[in-house]
Structure 1
Amino acid sequence: MKKIDKNRLILGLAAPVLAIVAALAITSIIIGVTGKDPFHAYQVMVEFGSKADSQVWIINKATPYYLSALAVAVGFRMNLFNIGVDGQYRIAAFFAAVVGGALTLPGIIEIPVIIIVAMAVGALWAGIAGLLKTSRGVNEVISTIMLNAIGASVIGYFLQDGRLAKKEGNLIHTPYLPDSAHFFEIPTQTKPIYGFVVIAALAGVAYWFLLNRTRFGFDLRTVGQSETAAQASGVSVKRMVVTSMLISGALAGLVGMPTLLGVSYNYGTDFPTGIGFTGIAIALLGRNNPVGMALAALLWGFLERTGTQLEFEGYAQEIVGVIQGVIVLCVVIAYELVRRYGLKAQQRKVGEELAAQARKSDKAEVSA
């Protein structure tokens, strides 16, 4: 049985505890400065968030957030900053909606086809940034941001009446998906939960297995820690960059599927945007860990849900955004402080052990 390292366990628990305490303290001060009672705000949030319909809403909201965080985290694990998840999932959802709306197949075929198209388009769009980085040295932050703008323009061009979309009232959208493309739902006493939460959970398991139980994951983490060391051990850094961007883009392609297959059944001008940027915050909050990101996505959904109730209680509507930002900053700072403390403690321990060995050596020489 593997022995538990108590010091490592304590340090692991210290970071989130420190982050939570700091976030609550700073948030309370901010709310207090506005002239409101912070403890009443927390009470309202807990009571409203614990309702059955709120819990379903939070889970449904957290599902695409979690998928977005997974897409971002793949790049983060090897120091790649894929800022283009927002553009990747949108263009992926658009072309998946176009293909799905043009087909009438049994659901067992139609749904996988739509998902595969979305993942392929997302991978292709992200792969462009990977190729630009490895072949021309273009920073992935710049290229993915530019691809976001290009993707929005491509969608804007085709999302017009008479091209790949049609006008219905004040909205323009792609043709509706057939009934066979409607994803299953998990019934509850209030509203149903998106069935795509199952796919999100499987994606999280696949992410964990890929990074922690495969040679590819080992190489990816090695490149993230030291490109020079990875290259010296025979790893092709350029191939890893492109492959990682392809995987990140494929996961990004799943982000829009809960909405496309479970809510709107088309891609229109009202399709949700900004989920990719939220995924960056959630990946940071969850420390690129699949379980941590799931909890972070649920927390994000909780804050958004309960934030609407705070407005009815007279609190400023911007307070939720402030809380979210404070939490992310506190988590990043807390983990860095704990990491540095742990490193210094380890160095001090090694120094003490070396000094003890030197004293023993001196005593042995004297006795001799």
Structure 2
Amino acid sequence: MNERLRSVGAALVPPLVAVVAALAATSLVIVVSGGSAVDFLRALVSMPSERALLTIVNQASMLTIAGLAAAIGFRMGLFNIGVEGQYIVGSCAGAFFAGSGLVAGPLNILATLVVAALAGALYASVAGVLKVFRGVSEVISAIMLNYIAFTMAGYLVTTYGEKRGLTYATAPLPLDSQPLGFAIFPGVDADVWALATLAAILGVGYWFLLAKTRFGFDLRATGASPSAARASGVDVEKMTLVTMALSGGVAGLVWMPAYFGSVHAFGVPEYFQAGLGFLGLAVALLGRNQAVGVVFAALLFAFMSGQSNALQRADVSKDVIDITQGAIVLAVVVAYEVVGRRRARAEAERVSRALEREEVAA
């Protein structure tokens, strides 16, 4: 029982300490710049309106998917910083397909999800192939691919999309492929997006894959020690390729809740929310690459973003949210490193005492 409590404490204390440290650091920045830390904290923890709560839930669904995409790579020991580019490619491909009307009705939703996931997987595979066959770091190649994705999507939309005012976008999603959302608050003309449930489905699938399948075991073993995994018969190169493709496939679905929920077209930047891929990396780090942790981290980041209006009413710049989010990521990395070192030291001392007892008994 004590061991379980220590394990739970080791999992919960670092993110809590990181959040508190980040808020303290942000408050200090505000005070130094001549603002009021009290107003900042009061606005941040104030109760959002019903419409803001809906926005937070919808935003959290996309951040959860982005966090799961990044977490798949992290568990393998891969830093898939290309989640941003992969979800741009998946969104662009999915929107072009859905707007074409090749498939009618609800089947169009399912087919679009498949197209978006495949596009993201194929794009992520470029970094995987370069790493396995040419030894190129996935960090370097994925960063370059992010810029290529953004530029390529803009070119495709401008060339093959429709002009809307001063910008371009894909053909609108047909009405028979627009799923109804979930009304939570009566009298509020906004709903939780129907495909917000996709985040829950992917979260359960992520947990099952890692905890209940041989592939998940091989993935975790390779992430812990590639040399040991190779010695036990795991094809590390194949695992790298498959994991990058799987991470990219999930990344390709990041924007689908918003696309089917309210936007119904793709176009950069007016019809698209950039930055979710980079936030997904932070969500995965804060959530410790665990399905439940990723969900709570996504809700926290979505809540902070949703409080930007409250901050502006308190004469606090909404850019402070970016500072707080960055500070949380930095603090949680440091906190987990400290906890990991303390745990390793405690384990070494426990083993040492056990050996001493055996020597005395002998």
Question: Structure 1 residue 320: deviation in Å?
Answer: 1.3
Mark the CA change 1:128 to 1:28 in structure 2 (over 3 Å): closer, same or farther.
same
**Residues 280-318 of structure 1: CA distance to partner in whole angstroms, max 9, x if unpaired?**
111111111111111111111111111232122112332
Q: Indicate if the aligned counterparts of 1:105 and 1:180 stay in contact, CA closer than 8 A.
A: no
Match of 1:76 in 2: 74
Q: For 1:300, give the aligned amino acid.
A: F
| In structure 2, distance between residues paired with 1:139 and 1:20 | 31
Q: Deviations over 1:200-243 (max 9, x none)?
A: 10000001110111000000011101111111111101110010
Provide the secondary structure at the position in 2 that maps to 1:67: helix
Alpha-carbon RMSD across the aligned residues, in angstroms, is 1.8
Task: Please state if 1:319 is matched with 2:320.
Answer: yes
Post-superposition CA distance 1:340-359 (Å, at most 9, x none): 11111121122222223323
Give the partner amino acid of 1:235: V
Aligned residue type for 1:46: V
CA contact (8 A) 2:27 2:40 kept: no
Letter in 2 for 1:166: E
User: How many Å apart are 1:45 and its aligned residue?
Assistant: 2.1
**Distance apart, 1:104 and its partner CA:** 5.2
> Does the C-alpha gap of structure 1 residues 104 and 360 become closer, same or farther in structure 2, counting only changes over 3 Å?
closer
Aligned mates of 2:164, 2:17 — CA distance in 1:
52
Is 1:96 aligned with 2:94?
Answer: yes
Bigger shift: 351-360 or 286-295? 351-360
Deviation at 1:39, TM superposition (A): 3.1
Look up the SS of the partner of 2:163 in the other structure: strand
Give secondary structure in 2 for the equivalent of 1:83: coil
Per-residue Cα deviation, 1:233-271 (whole angstroms, up to 9, x for no partner): 111011100100111111011112112211221111311
Relative to structure 1, is the Cα distance of residues 26 and 156 closer, same or farther in structure 2, using a 3 angstrom cutoff?
Answer: closer
- Whether the 8 Å contact between 1:104 and 1:178 is mirrored in structure 2 is no
Q: How do 1:201-220 and structure 2 match up within 5 A?
A: 201-220=200-219
Give aligned pairs, total: 357
Q: Which has the higher mean CA deviation after the structures are superposed, 129-138 or 243-252?
A: 129-138
| TM-score, normalising length: structure 2 | 0.93
- The residue that corresponds to 1:155 in the other structure is 153
| 2:124 counterpart of 1:131 | no
Question: Counterparts of 2:235 and 2:140 in 1: how far apart (Å)?
Answer: 23
Partner of 2:278: 277
Give 1:300's aligned residue. Answer: 301
Partner AA of 1:293 in structure 2:
V
* Alignment-derived partner of residue 365 in structure 1: none
Looking at structure 1, the residues matched to 110 and 177 of structure 2 have their Cα atoms a distance apart, in angstroms, of 9
Aligned to 2:44: 45
> What one-letter code is carried by the residue in structure 1 that aligns with 2:303?
F
CA change 1:279–1:10 in 2 (3 A) is: closer
Name the CA distance, whole Å, in 2 between partners of 1:198 and 1:33.
43
Q: CA deviation at 1:63?
A: 1.3
Work out the percentage of aligned pairs sharing the same amino acid: 39
SS of equivalent residue, structure 2 residue 160 = coil
Instruction: In structure 1, give the amino acid aligned to 2:293.
Output: G
Q: Is the 1:222–1:230 Cα contact (8 Å) retained in structure 2?
A: yes
Alignment of 1:52-63 (within 5 A): 52-63=50-61
1:165 and 2:165 matched: no
Rounded to whole Å, the distance in 2 between the matches of 1:275 and 1:330 is 20
One-letter code of the match for 2:176? S
Cα distance per residue 1:84-104 (max 9 Å; x no partner): 111111111112111111125
Q: For 2:68, give the aligned amino acid.
A: L
Structure 2 stretches lacking a partner, 5+ long: none
In the TM superposition, what whole-angstrom CA distance separates every residue of 1:135-159 from its partner, at most 9, and x where no partner exists?
1111111111122222223222222
Match of 1:241 in 2: 240
Alignment of 1:7-46 (within 5 A): 7-46=6-45
5+ long unaligned stretches in structure 1: 362-368
Cα distance between partner residues in 2 of 1:4 and 1:124: 43
